[in-house]
Copies of this chain bind each other. A is one copy, B any other.
Amino acid sequence: MPASRRPGGRSARVRRAVVTAFIDELAERGFSALSFESVAARAGVHKTTLYRRWGSRENLLLDVALHTAADAVPVPDTGSLVTDLAALAAAVARNLRSKPVEAMLRAVVSEALVHPEVATAAREFWDARFQAAKEIVRRAVARGEVDANVSAGLVIESLIGPLYLRVLVTQQPLDDAFIEELSTLVASAAASGTSPADP
Q: Mark A residues whose CB is within 8 Å of B.
A: 102, 105-106, 108-110, 112-113, 119, 122-123, 126, 130, 151, 154-155, 157-158, 160-166, 168-172, 177-178, 180-182, 184-186, 188-192, 194, 196, 198-199
Find chain B residues with CB under 8 A from A199 CB: 184
Least CB separation from A157: chain B residue:
B162
Nearest CB on B from A112, distance (A): 6
- What is the bound-complex CA distance between A25 and B51, given in angstroms? 36
Least CB separation from A116: chain B residue:
B171
- What would 13 A/B residue contacts be, using CB atoms closer than 8 Å? A102-B113, A106-B109, A109-B109, A112-B171, A157-B165, A158-B161, A160-B165, A161-B162, A177-B196, A184-B196, A188-B192, A188-B194, A189-B192
- What is the bound-complex CA distance between A7 and B145, given in angstroms? 57
The reply to whether B158 and A109 contact each other, CB–CB distance below 8 Å, is: no
